[in-house]
Amino acid sequence: MKVKYPKLTDFQRKVFAELERVPVGKVITYKALAARINCGSARAVGQAMRRNPYAPEIPCHRVVASDGALRGYFGKTNEEGLKKKRELLLKEGVQLDGNQVASTSLLIR
DNA sequence: GCGCTTATCGCAC
DNA sequence: GTGCGATAAGCGC
């Protein structure tokens, strides 16, 4: 298996690995993702996403807050990026309610 | 509702 | 090589 993202740190690599593990139609929370990589801070996960150089290549739109609420996208916490995130999720089959997931059952724990 | 804590990344010196 | 600051969150009070 080749290193898909050699420019990323081990931390980001783990985050993306777990992210790829999320099936289409479902999403994962920052905390759950952080816990999977043995990290107690969800903030660090968001940090990796925000600064990830492969933003459009990484399905960061599948990562949501513990409440299932979208937080930001492409380094933007405004509706600009959020709107796109919503569209992507809907396209993937994730039902959303405004800027929040319609059902927390869609979240991977 | 508001504020503080925590971990990682980015950039500067 | 080392240090400082900022952040796409979470939890507590």
Q: What would the pLDDT profile of A23-43 be if each residue is shown by its tens digit?
A: 999 999 999 999 999 888 999
Predicted pLDDT of residue A109 = 86
Identify whether A60 is a catalytic site residue: yes
pLDDT at A15 (0 to 100): 93
pLDDT confidence of residue A101: 95
CA-CA distance, A17 to A44, in Å (whole number)?
15
Helices A10-21/A42-50 angle, 10° precision: 90
Sign, Cα dihedral of A57, A100, A94, A14: positive
**pLDDT for A55:** 87
Question: A9 CA, C2 C1': separation in Å?
Answer: 19
- Nucleotide C9 C1' to residue A83 CA (A): 20
Please report the pLDDT score of residue A1 as a whole number.
64
Q: Assess whether A53 (CB) lies less than 7 A from strand B.
A: yes
Q: Which of A60, A65, A82, A107 is catalytic?
A: A60
Nucleotide with the nearest C1' to A48 CA:
B9
CA distance A42 to A97: 23
Give the DSSP letter of residue A58: S
CA distance A78 to A80: 5
Phi, psi at residue A104, to the nearest 5°?
-65, -15
Structural contact between residues A44 and A34, judged by C-beta atoms closer than 8 angstroms: yes
Residue A104 pLDDT > 70: yes
